[in-house]
Amino acid sequence: MERYIIIHYGEIALKGGNRSFFENKLIANIKLALIDLGEIWFKQVSGRIIVLMEENYDWELIKAKLQKVFGIEYFALAWNSSQDLKELEKDLYALVKSKKFIKFRVTARRTNKNFPLKSQEIAEKLGAMVVKKMKKKVDLENFDLNCYVDIVENFAFLYFEKIECRGGLPVGVSDKLLCLISGGIDSPVAANLMQKRGASIVYIHFDSYPSTPKENQEKVKDLVKVLNEYQFKSRLYIVPFLEIQKEILQKAPEDYRVVFYRRMMLRIAKMIAQKENILALVTGESLGQVASQTVENIRAISEATPLPILRPLIGFNKEEIVNLAREIGTFELSAQPFGDCCSLYVPKHPVTRADLNLILDTEKDWDFDRILEKAISKTEIINFNSEI
């Protein structure tokens, strides 16, 4: 029997007239994920994508790669049998006889309506064969083995495990977004959640070297490498921020420093966004998590840019964010010690209810163009290609 990978998608199937656009992007992303395998045979079959599984393919490696392709609901390693019931019974028995189980069920699905048996009848026939030949018990609720049977077009697939994925939309079907990324836990998770909604992410990091360690930059690069496994091609802007911070130290009230830091970051991010033709920013803010993330402070910081700011973590608590970081593979990196630029010269008692009028009055005589253009001119740009 030939082996196939059956790939199911969920949300994409609900799309209307532009469904093919989403399907084609998903197929393109699957090909990028499996590019190391060379030429791959693909076919779309009744709301599924099937891939011919060659003998020399590393199934464990393929599993790891496909689980990072957004748009996939689940996939399975399947064997293609025959739509002749006797042959189907024979092949199912050949596959299950070496498996260890006591109770089982057969889950059948028939999309080919020309097949003479209905889904329930297929399950009953094949289940009866396993009971007779192997003396096993059928249990539809508490089973050790689920035998999946898909009768699709001219295929008859048999498989035993669904590998669940995170669904969402294929990266690239939505617009590009610019994510402000630190070396912490939150912002990489925020970026990944927007990737799940089909956005391609460009990253911007603000660095205060030499007052912060050079290792901070390497840590952020490593985080982007992990996130790039979900979108295959990324760009990172590393902006020198120390001189801007020193200017803020001289001109801003001490308790407002972090607010002014973030306002300056948004102004620079807007300039990079314009260069990249990006219409919105992404941050890792969670309401009330730290002093700068109160409603008043978020409002005061956001006023610095006309661009919309997407905050996918705004309603998450820290435990939920940490769990997502573990799932996507960024937690171990993020948990390593680091000192980001916002922790530099941080006040003992940062303001929690920022006065926007005070901020605007403080900024009115600042030479923004000079300090922002200087930071932009010294910005490092790093491109990442897929390594998965």
CATH code of 253's domain? 3.40.50.620
Closest CA to 380 of 213, 238, 208, 242: 238
Domain assignment of residue 15, yes or no: yes
Q: Is the pLDDT of residue 344 over 60?
A: no
| DSSP at 352 | S
Round to the nearest angstrom and report the end-to-end CA distance of the chain. 29
Q: What are phi and psi of 47, to 5 degrees?
A: 75, 15
Which positions ≥6 away from 149 have C-beta within 8 Å? 88, 92, 106, 107, 108, 109, 122, 123, 126, 156, 157, 158
Give the strand pairing for 233-240 and 163-164: unpaired
Domain assignment of residue 204, yes or no: yes
Average pLDDT of the residues in 165-181: 96
Domain assignment of residue 266, yes or no: yes
**pLDDT, position 343:** 57
SS3 281: strand
Question: Does 201 lie in the same domain as 156?
Answer: no
Q: Is the pLDDT of residue 37 over 90?
A: no
Question: Does 203 lie in the same domain as 303?
Answer: yes
Q: Please give the structure tokens belonging to residue 305.
A: 């840019």
Per-residue CA distances from 15 to 11, 23, 159, 173 (Å): 7, 10, 28, 12
Q: Please give the structure tokens belonging to residue 336.
A: 């390593």
Closest CA to 26 of 41, 10, 38, 39: 10
Domain assignment of residue 170, yes or no: no
Place of tokens 């171990």: 332
Question: Does 277 lie in the same domain as 143?
Answer: no
AA identity, residue 302:
S
**CATH number of 77's domain:** 3.30.2130.30
Q: Which stretch of 1-5, 9-13, 130-134 has the lowest confidence by average pLDDT?
A: 9-13
Question: Does 341 lie in the same domain as 285?
Answer: yes
Where a domain ends, among 113, 135, 164?
164
Cβ–Cβ < 8 Å for 388, 33: yes
Range of the domain at 186: 177-385
Per-residue CA distances from 251 to 139, 257, 363 (Å): 73, 9, 9
Question: Does 26 lie in the same domain as 137?
Answer: yes
Q: Which stretch of 91-105, 119-133, 265-279, 365-379 has the lowest confidence by average pLDDT?
A: 365-379
CA separation for the pair 79, 344 (Å, rounded): 58
Distance, CA of 12 to chain centre? 16
What average pLDDT does the structure give for the chain? 92
Closest CA to 205 of 220, 219, 190, 193: 220
Question: Does 185 lie in the same domain as 134?
Answer: no
Q: Please give the structure tokens belonging to residue 201.
A: 């992410």
CA separation for the pair 290, 372 (Å, rounded): 26
Q: Is the pLDDT of residue 388 over 50?
A: no
Q: Which stretch of 209-213, 234-238, 375-379 has the lowest confidence by average pLDDT?
A: 209-213
Q: Domains in the chain: how many in total? A: 2
Place of tokens 């911007």: 204
Q: Please give the structure tokens belonging to residue 148.
A: 């999946």
Question: Does 50 lie in the same domain as 153?
Answer: yes
Question: Does 257 lie in the same domain as 218?
Answer: yes
Question: Does 151 lie in the same domain as 239?
Answer: no
Instruction: Using pLDDT thresholds of 50, 70 and 90, give the confidence band for residue 342.
Output: low
Where a domain ends, among 125, 141, 164?
164
Domain assignment of residue 229, yes or no: yes
**pLDDT, position 320:** 97
Average pLDDT of the residues in 310-331: 96
Domain assignment of residue 169, yes or no: no
Question: Does 303 lie in the same domain as 198?
Answer: yes
Which positions ≥6 away from 348 have C-beta within 8 Å? none
Where a domain ends, among 164, 199, 232?
164
Domain assignment of residue 96, yes or no: yes
Question: Does 222 lie in the same domain as 277?
Answer: yes
CA separation for the pair 28, 21 (Å, rounded): 11
Question: Does 91 lie in the same domain as 206?
Answer: no
Average pLDDT of the residues in 34-60: 89
Domain assignment of residue 171, yes or no: no
Instruction: Using pLDDT thresholds of 50, 70 and 90, give the confidence band for residue 203.
Output: very high
CA separation for the pair 141, 122 (Å, rounded): 18
